[in-house]
Structure 1
């Protein structure tokens, strides 16, 4: 996956206008980028179907069809409705002058092409498609061939990842100028397929300030000198593990060890486990036997915490502590239910990281889960600003957001991580990286990336996404972290 900035739609439009003012023919450059992509992926004699819409995305597609014809491809063009923009009309005239046959509908007996190139609608689509367009898209989706979307799959909101009535299900998306978050999150993660960025050689100095970026957090600052000891890498205290949920705290503690913390304390609310046989390095201090939390450089509260009175009291102590704090699971639910706790968390001066899944984020925002999922970027940024903290909104295309709203969008990992306990593993890993003096935004970003890379490695080795347990993920994270440190 290539890097590159994420611009807001408004900033992207300003960039396009600036490029046009400089005389850069972005539509022609997009067409050439599409033709070059086809050259890398398709034989020269492969029959192609180019689908062009009425706007500028349709112009991209028509110019791409012209270039592909010039290079010797057999090209059919489908443009169901007349061009609506001036640039699309100019492209249509050139296509007709070049002898390209332009269909308004597909013949019933038309065989599937070797590749469908989708340029029906671009990123400007903001309203649901009407029934006629939905039917056309359904027909195109039924064609038995790979599909390449230009900029974004037609019918997909490129910023929310939500289909607008219907959307092309692409195998590949060649997006232009900058990445768009909707190609990686929500339904868009499945509809966009493999995403590649073509910057169209637009000068870097023309780019306005980015809203975010793809998550490429580095592990370089974790390199260790030979003159090291356990105190060099911080102490983490994990608070959670109520009766029936002790495993969650154990997973977080083991993950903190695997992530490099020098010492890890476990403060379970269930006092029945004196030692963890799988990780005897964990120092277990039952929460109901301590007058105060163990002295630690970082606290992580929530894995298996529960919502009883003792859980709330421990959470209050943790929020008042002057050290970095990671809040997950029932810690978030307690904050969502208590405005006093929420205000105290938002007023903290030490770094705080919240790691909600969409339902927990919805409770914190007093919304329903569907509303959060309908625009993940907006709501993750709202949470980060409101709580003056780093937020990790988990899910497809996990978002890591700073208090000022700038975000990283994670592209590693996938459905192999959709298993119980994976959130606890992530919490422990974030805490371990904080204990090694990474800033909160970088610690959360690197942890999310490593967690996803562990899932990617499992999928490659297992041949699919099923069966990765949270316990097994911990060892894979250790390997991925050392691989990144070695420059892999």
Structure 2
């Protein structure tokens, strides 16, 4: 379990460390020096660009350690001399170790690496003119940048720049991961992320609150249902019905149904609101039906509603009929748009007797919340939590760093995937994966989190083979997710 604590909790951990006599700045400085030592030879030159607080002090402590190891390290203090006692002491030790302080940016040339120690994670207001110019000057350096804890100017929780931020090649974050490194614009600013936990005892951390977040890692999910007994049959693994496919949009239903099949569901039906084709030539195992009549199928386990459904009156009636069934539901695409425009349908979701999962992209989330896309994206965690409470459902807020939230406030932040997944049909595939895992007995929250992880990790593995990121298709993602699921369930057999 890798928790995502809020700022108040992190500050309480820092206070506990101080009361125990533990010098966190010394530990952070050592972690920085070790990170650099593992990647750069002692002949390399390093520039520490520091602010007035302890974030800058961390960089200066690291600089003194690197000087002792033979590195050339200079410091630049564009915000002025340190303001905290710890940072003042760090600058004194840096100078005593032989470190030089540059007089201006014109001297900051020819370094192998720059350390971003300007601002810490507590930045709460937009950067003013001088601070903005400092960030822009740092970005203009002709060397890689290592951000310390969080790229300066980036909101450590929303992942949004304020309004500019350091574009780091890598980030070394301390104590616990910060959500903003993984979601929103954070991925474009953070680079490769490494956690330095600083060796803090677990009992220094407060009891983990129920509304805390965590990075989405499959080892911490309840997935025992996916283990298969040798003496089993298709009926043991559930039946999924995917409903949608208005005229001209039948591909969305097929993508979702195929993904449900590839995730292991025992039987999968594809229900078309428009013309129903006779079969799926790629996956003839799928059973194709008229959407309305499919709801009369007696042995369904999970309904997935919305891919290509449209928003006509007939679509609203089909969604209403589907929500009358006491079955777990995954609601996507046009089903979400219908919820946003029909309060009675939204109330049916809130009162639904079985678990529901909503999978909005940012535009759909904004419509469901009655806000703008910009507002919902500015606080993705808050948006996902608000939707989970409003609909009393599991919510998957898709996008960079997809968020999986449930009523009560607990959420998962998915770290897998890449920009190649910003393509048509990827959401349909995710819907099918979630429904297929739920049909096999996975709880709605765990199935949603696992599906996000599988799709993202599968897409990453494809990109390493040259299949994407550009041109990655949803069909390829579904097959890669199947491979990841089997790799996770049977590591000895799959390598």
Place the TM-score, normalised by the shorter chain, in its bin: over 0.9
Q: Are residues 1:266 and 2:264 paired?
A: no
Deviation at 1:154, TM superposition (A): 0.9
- Structure 2 length as normaliser, TM-score? 0.95
Q: In structure 1, what is the equivalent of residue 66 of structure 2?
A: 68
Distance 1:36 1:221 in 2: 42
Distance 1:214 1:277 in 2: 39
Deviation at 1:291, TM superposition (A): 7.2
* 2:246 and 2:273 in contact (8 A); partners too: yes
Q: Pick which of 158-167 and 26-35 moved more.
A: 158-167
Q: 2:251 aligns with which of 247, 250, 275?
A: 247
Distance 2:418 2:134 in 1: 30
Distance 1:242 1:469 in 2: 21
Distance 1:101 1:308, change over 3 A: same
Distance 2:313 2:278 in 1: 23
Q: Are residues 1:440 and 2:444 paired?
A: yes
Deviation at 1:112, TM superposition (A): 2.5
Q: Are residues 1:358 and 2:362 paired?
A: yes
Distance 1:221 1:72, change over 3 A: farther
Q: In structure 2, what is the equivalent of residue 451 of structure 1?
A: 455
* 1:237 and 1:294 in contact (8 A); partners too: no
Q: In structure 2, what is the equivalent of residue 213 of structure 1?
A: 214
Q: In structure 2, what is the equivalent of residue 222 of structure 1?
A: 226
Q: Are residues 1:332 and 2:327 paired?
A: no
SS of the aligned residue for 1:271 comes to coil
How many equivalent residue pairs? Answer: 485
Distance 2:467 2:477 in 1: 16
Which residues of structure 2 form unaligned runs of 5+? none
Distance 1:312 1:271, change over 3 A: same
**Superimposed CA distance per residue, residues 211-256 of structure 1 (whole angstroms, 9 cap, x where no aligned partner):** 1111112455412111111001000010000001000001001111
Deviation at 1:463, TM superposition (A): 6.7
Deviation at 1:34, TM superposition (A): 0.4
SS of the aligned residue for 1:197 comes to strand
Q: In structure 2, what is the equivalent of residue 149 of structure 1?
A: 147
Q: 1:52 aligns with which of 33, 50, 70?
A: 50
Give runs of aligned pairs for residues 62-461 of structure 1, distance below 5 A: 62-80=60-78, 81-107=80-106, 110-208=108-206, 209=208, 211-218=212-219, 221-289=225-293, 292=296, 295-461=299-465
Q: Pick which of 347-356 and 467-476 moved more.
A: 467-476
Distance 1:291 1:452, change over 3 A: closer
Deviation at 1:340, TM superposition (A): 1.2
* 2:17 and 2:204 in contact (8 A); partners too: yes
SS of the aligned residue for 2:335 comes to helix
Q: In structure 2, what is the equivalent of residue 37 of structure 1?
A: 35
Distance 1:463 1:35, change over 3 A: farther
Distance 1:290 1:4 in 2: 42
SS of the aligned residue for 2:465 comes to helix
Distance 1:195 1:278, change over 3 A: same
* 2:276 and 2:289 in contact (8 A); partners too: no
Distance 2:470 2:46 in 1: 35
Give runs of aligned pairs for residues 2-13 of structure 1, distance below 5 A: 4-13=2-11
Q: Pick which of 242-251 and 467-476 moved more.
A: 467-476
SS of the aligned residue for 1:462 comes to coil
* 1:137 and 1:167 in contact (8 A); partners too: yes
Q: In structure 2, what is the equivalent of residue 25 of structure 1?
A: 23
- Structure 1 length as normaliser, TM-score? 0.96
* 1:352 and 1:390 in contact (8 A); partners too: yes
Distance 2:291 2:298 in 1: 10
Distance 2:322 2:475 in 1: 26
Distance 1:126 1:416 in 2: 32
Deviation at 1:199, TM superposition (A): 0.6
* 1:48 and 1:74 in contact (8 A); partners too: yes
Distance 2:26 2:431 in 1: 47
Distance 2:99 2:458 in 1: 48
Distance 1:129 1:357, change over 3 A: same
SS of the aligned residue for 2:8 comes to helix
Distance 1:189 1:220 in 2: 32
**Superimposed CA distance per residue, residues 243-298 of structure 1 (whole angstroms, 9 cap, x where no aligned partner):** 01000001001111001000011111112412111111111111255674654100
* 1:33 and 1:198 in contact (8 A); partners too: yes
Distance 2:224 2:32 in 1: 36
